[in-house]
Structures are given as C-alpha cells and as structure tokens.
Amino acid sequence: MINRRQWIAAASAALLARPLLARDRRSMHVTTLYTFGDSVLDCGHYNVHGVHPGQLLVRNDDALFPEFRGRDLSSRGPARLAHRAVDGATVDGLERQLAGVKKGAGEVAIVSVGGNDLLRGLAADGGAGMQRFEATYERFLGALPIRPVILASVYDPTFGDDSRNFLGVPAPVARANHRRVNAIIAELAQRHGRLADVHAHFLRGDEGWFTRTIEPSLVGASEVRRVFLDNLAALEPPLARRAP
C-alpha cells in the first residue's frame, strides 16, 4: 500500500515529467509531402493497386515492393501526404493546385509537369511557347511557400527511338523541344530546389515501366518514386534512406 510520502514523490515526478513529454510531442513533428503536377505523380488509376509515387514515398507498400522496406518517410517519423497533382495537368494548372497551401514546418514538395505541355503544342513550338512555359513555372515556384522543392524532368516513353514517335511532329523537332523543356526545368531546379532526373533514369528502363504508351505503370510509379527518394535522402537532414 502506498503511504503519503510515496504518493507525494510520485505526484511530484509526474508533474516534473509533464513539460518534458510536451516538449517531446512538439519535437515529433509530422513531415508533409506535397505533390503537384500531372499524371507522373497522379497515376494511381493506371494500375490495379491504385498506387502512385507520393503514396510510396510516404509509406511503401512492402508487399509489392519489399526492396523499399524501411526506406520511406514514415520510417523516419510521422509523415502524411498532401496529394494535389492531377492527371492531365499542364503548367497552367499548377496555380490552381496551389490554392490554400500555406507555409508550415516539416514540409517538402515534389513537382512533375511539362509532358502534357509537350503533347499539347510545345513539341512543335518555335520559341514563344517555351518562354511562356518557363515564366509560368517560375511564377508557381515563386508563389510556392514550401521548401525544399524537387522538380522532375520529363521522361521519354520512346526511349530515344524515333520509330516510336507518336506526336505527329517530326522527331528531330520534337526531341529538340523535349530537350529545351528539360533544360528549363533543370535551370528552375537549380534556382529553387533540386532536380529529380526522371528522364535519365527512365532511359535505362523498359516498356514495362509504361502503360497506355505514356503513363507510368505500377513498376513505373515505383521507379518515379525511386528518383525522388534519392533526392529526399540527399537533403540535410535526410528525410529518407536511398533507394536500393
């Protein structure tokens, strides 16, 4: 049975511990991953598991991708996803996706845009469209209150094979404009954050990384995740472990 002296000692210890527990709770902040852009990040409806890169970055599906076990944001602490990317979006849609976003602690943003802009005219552009693309993307990044931000380059679903050209634009013209878009993205990444070179990584892939010609398949979604994961792991402090 607890006597009066023991009860007073226990109560005092509890009172002293309360500020420490409160401080520990504050230090356990939640990492929030924001996604912005197009179907490269909003591709869950293109696979039967409903999986997209943002989901996998926050919490890996260990049954589908056991090699990534323990390498997601949740393995480092509490994490959540704020998914704003929309299939079919162009650079003009980024401003709408930004609506209501406010600066907070422990936030990181990933962005993929440019592929639909190429499909809808930039592949045949003579120059003015590129300038507008850059200015619009720059304006979005300037308004984005989240740092760090990681920008994806635009992949090539033809793997550099001109015989697979599906754009209705001469391959040399389309490829030159594809390079221009990726050069713009690389310059913006240098000014505002980091570059996730999805284009370079996907050139080492195969047809199984795609579905419906241009969309990431289930494997493709994981490979997009891989490129962003390595960038998250390279941050200071790192937010995840590098991909295997």
Report, in angstroms and rounded to the nearest whole number, the Rg of the chain calculated over CA atoms: 22
Could you tell me the residue ranges of all domains in the chain? 29-233
- pLDDT tens column, 190-212: 999 999 999 999 999 999 999 99
For 29-233, CATH gives 3.40.50.1110
- pLDDT tens column, 58-114: 999 999 999 999 999 999 999 999 999 999 999 999 999 999 998 887 899 999 999
What are 213's two structure tokens? 């010609």
Q: Which of 139, 125, 53 is nearest to 94 (CA)?
A: 139
Does this model's pTM top 0.85? My answer is yes
Q: Which amino acid is at 199?
A: H
Residues 137-142 have a mean pLDDT of 98
Of 81-95, 126-140, 176-190, 229-243, least confident by mean pLDDT is: 229-243
pLDDT of residue 103: 86
What are 234's two structure tokens? 């390279």
Confidence of residue 22 (pLDDT cuts 50, 70, 90): very low
